[in-house]
Structure formats: C-alpha cells, structure tokens
C-alpha cells in the first residue's frame, strides 16, 4: 500500500498517481484548499479527505491506519509533489521482503543517483547535523534523515498507527525506531525536483527546523518509549 499525503498538490497529483497506479495506493487529502479534492473525485482516485489540515504527521498516520485496517503487510510513504521515483520502489521494499529490515528509507546520499537533483546547501548542512546527533545516541548512521520516501513492515505499521510524530515526523520517527531496536536500512533512491508547489521547509526556516528537530530527538532520547 502506497500512502500519498497531499496538501494543495493540484498541479502534480495526477502525474504522481499515474506513476504508481500498478500498486495499491491511498491519497490522504490533508485539508487542501485548491483543486486537489476535485481532481481526486473526478478521476475516482482512492483517497481519504481530511476535514481540515492535520499536517504531514497526521496525514501520514491516517494512511498507516488505513493500511493496517485493510491488512497490508508493507506500507510505503510517497510524496505527492513528483520528487519520488516509482522505479526505486522495488529496491526500497526488497530488504523488507527478504526479512532483512523492518523499515527502509530511500536515500539520496548513499549512492550517486541518476538525476541532478540536490537539496539546498543549508538543508544538506541541517541533514548532516541531524544525522550526527542520531548517530551519537543510537550508534546507527542515517544519512538522509529528512527523506519522506520510506517503507514499513507490518510491525512498524502497527506501531505508527498509535505512535507517529505530528511534527518533524521523518527524522524523529527514524530515531524512535532505532531506539526501539527496529531494523532500519537505507536504500539508494532517485529523487527529482518538485514539479509544483513549495516545500514545507523553506530556506529561511532551515535553522528553526533543525533546532526543533534536535530538541525533539533529545526528548525522545530521555523519555521512555516501548513497542
């Protein structure tokens, strides 16, 4: 099951869905105020309309709950903005199918990808800093800490339906899973420039984002969590 959180993605949502239609999928329309809902309805795309904007954490958790309720063994997070490449899905889920991982992260940084896409300099600096702090506490290196292209096995799906960060969900949930001794593996993935819309992490917010992620990771480190 592919989970596609979408907020105001009218310009890219059709192309994104067409790229993954050979898989089961659900679009979580996160309170969009543009034509996203109309496009989903017109094309009879499988989707859930949230009454208001929950943010990326709430939208993705809704998708995990849908995957659990419909008895899926693997759930894949896939952005609606055209950045993720469906051709990378088989490599993303292979470690889960082979029983080598509970959770996989599609990474831009563990192997040179075939596209020219690079995130901003400030974002790359922030990613490295977050990666270093996660390694400090877990002794496990995650290189692409903000990647939203991820796959979860059944046990992680069950965990995320009850425990999924509402803010900064990618790096914080990566660290939570490592702390709980889930097997987390990065796989190489192709990424592309956004085809439309704006990233939720703007350049001027990069420092604020990194500081708050680090504080969130520290909170996870000191509090007691369990599967």
Do residues 96 and 183 touch, judged by C-beta distance below 8 A? no
Do residues 174 and 131 touch, judged by C-beta distance below 8 A? no
Q: How many whole angstroms separate alpha carbon 76 and alpha carbon 1? A: 6
Q: Which two tokens stand for residue 30?
A: 């996160």
pLDDT given at position 114: 47
- 126 located within any domain: no
Label residues 137-157 b or e (16+ Cβ within 10 Å = b): ebeeebebbbbbbbbbbbebb
Domain that holds residue 104: 2-118+143-166+177-197
Residue carrying structure tokens 């990647």: 147
Do residues 31 and 54 touch, judged by C-beta distance below 8 A? yes
Q: Which two tokens stand for residue 9?
A: 């993605």
Query: How many domains does the structure of the chain reveal?
Result: 1
Spatial CA neighbour of 185 closest among 98, 97, 106, 73: 106
- 135 located within any domain: no
Which distant-in-sequence residues (6+ apart) come within 8 Å of 28 by Cβ? 3, 4, 5, 6, 47, 48, 50, 59, 60, 62, 63, 66
- 84 located within any domain: yes
- 17 located within any domain: yes
pLDDT given at position 194: 63
Which distant-in-sequence residues (6+ apart) come within 8 Å of 208 by Cβ? none
- 8 located within any domain: yes
In this structure, the number of other CB atoms found within 10 A of the CB of residue 197 comes to 18
Question: What pairing do the DSSP bridges indicate for beta strands 103-107 and 2-6?
Answer: unpaired
Do residues 154 and 73 touch, judged by C-beta distance below 8 A? yes
CATH number, domain at 102?
3.90.550.10
Distance of CA 139 to the CA centre of its chain: 22
The pTM score is 0.90
User: How big is the chain by its Cα radius of gyration, in Å?
Assistant: 16
Dihedral-angle region of residue 71 (phi above 0 means left; psi in -120 to 50 means alpha; beta otherwise): left
pLDDT given at position 115: 53
Q: Which two tokens stand for residue 150?
A: 């991820």
Q: Which two tokens stand for residue 31?
A: 């309170």
- 209 located within any domain: no
- 87 located within any domain: yes
Distance of CA 59 to the CA centre of its chain: 11
List the pLDDT tens digit at each of the 227 positions of the chain: 999 999 999 999 999 999 999 999 999 999 999 999 999 999 999 999 999 999 999 999 999 999 999 999 999 999 999 999 999 999 999 999 999 999 999 999 987 554 555 566 777 889 999 999 999 999 999 999 999 999 999 999 999 999 999 999 999 999 999 999 999 999 999 988 766 555 544 555 678 889 999 999 999 999 888 87
- 154 located within any domain: yes
């Amino acid at each position: 099951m592919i989970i596609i959180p979408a907020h105001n993605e009218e310009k890219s949502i059709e192309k994104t869905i067409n790229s993954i239609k050979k898989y089961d999928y659900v679009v979580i329309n996160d309170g969009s105020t543009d034509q996203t809902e109309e496009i989903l309805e017109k094309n009879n795309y499988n989707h859930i309309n949230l009454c208001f904007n929950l943010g990326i954490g709430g939208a993705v958790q809704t998708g995990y709950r849908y995957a659990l309720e419909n008895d899926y063994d693997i759930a894949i997070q896939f952005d609606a903005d055209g950045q993720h490449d469906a051709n990378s899905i088989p490599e993303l889920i292979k470690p889960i199918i082979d029983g080598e991982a509970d959770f996989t992260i599609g990474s831009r940084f563990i192997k040179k990808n075939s596209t020219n896409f690079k995130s901003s300099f400030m974002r790359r600096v922030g990613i490295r800093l977050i990666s270093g702090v996660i390694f400090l506490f877990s002794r496990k290196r995650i290189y692409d800490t903000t990647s939203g292209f991820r796959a979860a096995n059944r046990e992680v799906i069950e965990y995320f339906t009850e425990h999924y960060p509402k803010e900064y969900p990618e790096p914080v949930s990566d660290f939570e899973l490592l702390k709980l001794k889930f097997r987390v593996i990065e796989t190489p993935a192709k990424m592309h420039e956004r085809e439309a819309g704006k990233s939720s992490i703007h350049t001027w917010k990069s420092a604020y984002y990194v500081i708050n992620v680090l504080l969130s990771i520290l909170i996870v480190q000191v509090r007691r969590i369990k599967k």
